[in-house]
């Protein structure tokens, strides 16, 4: 199968905490004023991405995986994940603070939900002055102290707040308590999983006046209570080079700052490649076709691609592989 660079229709999600930056900053076709997420590339059941470009337009990612799994994913990826797409790509706009939450590891998620865990990373695309993230605890905490603060609605007193700006990057391993703060627009790269344990939601009510569900008991055995400073990702920004960002068992992410045309040889890579455009614009070309990416757009490059050629006068890209 001659698989060209694929773009997909965004799957837009209204959220209690969402806003309009997905449209005003990234150009997404949203109509509501509380759109919180744009799922760019998803194999999650019920939210499977649909090809938006070329001869395969209208084809679902599941259909492609059913018929061309090795060509699309790579032999090693198929051996590990079967015909399931292992990465979920999102853009998230937080007009309000998100709930304080965490995600279980693979073992817990498998037992409880027949799912993978959820390891993720965030790349900040836009941040209002004073915008913050919550990542981890600000002191050593045990289960009893955590539970006591949760019961008194004082959990935020235990949490670590991080000021953020455009380009900041964070790695959120399973068990780490976290939340995206108001005024943050970010790209999220994660395992294919939609399992989240919400533990504190500032006593907010949804549009029907109900408090949102909390997962207090489920979270107790999933939380990493240690204070750790392992979340901020430092990376080089050398133009026209591949700069390593995150290398974990679930995905590898690189930062590529292009100032001119550039070529990536992929023939030795037994994995699909995803490119997220976070600044500028670039044409992405393989031996079977091309697609133009602008800020806020994502492309999937099939594993059987021998090369990728970028045509650009300026772009910043996140490159994701397995």
**Catalytic positions, please?**
198
Neighbours of 135 (CB within 10 A): 24
- The closest of 305, 302, 296, 299 to 319, measured between CA atoms, is 299
Contact predicate 100/134, CB 8 Å = yes
* Alpha carbon distance 81, 104 (integer Å): 19
* Alpha carbon distance 3, 118 (integer Å): 29
Structure token digits, residue 95: 């007009």
Phi-psi region of 73 (alpha: psi -120 to 50; beta: other; left: phi over 0): alpha
* Alpha carbon distance 67, 78 (integer Å): 12
Interacting residues of 36 by C-beta distance below 8 A, sequence separation 6+: 13, 14, 15, 16, 17, 18, 19, 92, 93, 94, 95
E strand residue ranges, the chain? 11-19, 35-41, 43-44, 47-48, 87-94, 100-102, 120-127, 132-137, 159-163, 169-172, 178-180, 184-191, 197-200, 242-247, 252-258, 262-265, 273-286, 289-294, 298-301, 307-321
- The closest of 196, 25, 187, 192 to 90, measured between CA atoms, is 187
Neighbours of 104 (CB within 10 A): 27
């Amino acid at each position: 199968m001659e698989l060209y660079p694929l773009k997909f229709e965004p799957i837009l999600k209204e959220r209690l905490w969402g806003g309009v930056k997905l449209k005003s900053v990234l150009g997404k076709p949203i109509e509501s004023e509380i759109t919180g997420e744009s799922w760019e590339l998803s194999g999650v059941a019920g939210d499977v991405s649909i090809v938006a470009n070329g001869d395969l337009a209208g084809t679902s990612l599941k259909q492609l995986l059913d018929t061309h799994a090795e060509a699309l994913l790579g032999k090693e990826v198929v051996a590990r994940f079967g015909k399931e797409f292992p990465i979920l790509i999102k853009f998230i706009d937080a007009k309000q603070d998100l709930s304080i939450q965490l995600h279980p590891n693979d073992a817990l998620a498998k037992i409880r939900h027949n799912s993978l865990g959820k390891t993720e990373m965030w790349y900040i695309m836009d941040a209002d002055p004073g915008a913050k993230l919550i990542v981890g605890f600000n002191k050593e905490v045990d289960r009893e102290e955590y539970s006591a603060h949760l019961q008194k609605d004082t959990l935020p007193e235990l949490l670590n707040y991080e000021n953020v700006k455009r380009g900041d990057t964070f790695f959120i391993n399973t068990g780490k308590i976290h939340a995206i703060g108001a005024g943050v627009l970010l790209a999220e790269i994660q395992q294919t999983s939609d399992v989240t344990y919400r533990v504190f939601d500032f006593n907010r009510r949804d549009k029907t006046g109900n408090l949102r569900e909390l997962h207090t008991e489920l979270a107790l055995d999933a939380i990493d209570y240690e204070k750790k400073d392992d979340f901020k990702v430092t990376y080089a920004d050398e133009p026209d080079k591949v700069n390593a960002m995150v290398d974990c068992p679930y995905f590898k992410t690189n930062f590529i700052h292009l100032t001119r045309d550039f070529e990536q040889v992929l023939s030795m890579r037994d994995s699909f490649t995803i490119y997220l455009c976070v600044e500028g614009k670039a044409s992405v070309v393989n031996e079977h076709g091309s697609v133009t990416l602008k800020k806020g757009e994502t492309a999937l490059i099939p594993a059987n691609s021998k090369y990728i050629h970028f045509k650009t006068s300026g772009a910043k890209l996140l490159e994701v592989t397995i």
